Amino acid sequence: MQISAELYEFVIRVVDDRVREIKLTREDFNALKQVVEELAQAQKRTEEELCSLVREHAKTREMVAGLSDTVGYGLENQAYEALPRLLERDFDLKIKDRLARGYIVYKDGKEDEVNVYGWGMKDGKKSLSLVNLK
């Protein structure tokens, strides 16, 4: 069977077009593959950097907590010296014993720290002074 030159040219054009489409599709696929690989590498670097930042953040929190403790204890130490005079002057409460640091334990077993407490006398009655410094 013989095909006409016109039909032959048409078939060749259709085949050429399909080959070009397949080639473009393969090129597109390869380009997408490359983009996915680059994104995966970027994601890996991001995760590594995030882990590093989390570790550094934990160190910073420890340092800030230490600084907070240092400042808090410094304030408490100053309070031990200043509070007896201030309580007597402002509230007519005379501290009898040395001021101390302690904890209040509740019935449910939970506890709170009391930064400074001490027993004193006000109007002839024994009084407890509690101070929580923040």
pLDDT in tens, the chain (134 residues): 788 888 788 888 888 888 787 776 788 888 888 999 999 999 999 999 999 999 999 999 999 999 988 988 888 888 888 999 999 999 999 998 888 888 889 999 999 888 888 899 999 999 888 877 65
Residues 103 and 112: their CA atoms lie apart, in Å, by 6
Q: Among candidates 100, 90, 97, which has minimal Cα distance to 127?
A: 97
In degrees to the nearest 10, what's the CA dihedral of 77, 79, 82, 88? -140
pLDDT at res. 79: 85
Q: Where are the domains of the chain?
A: 5-131
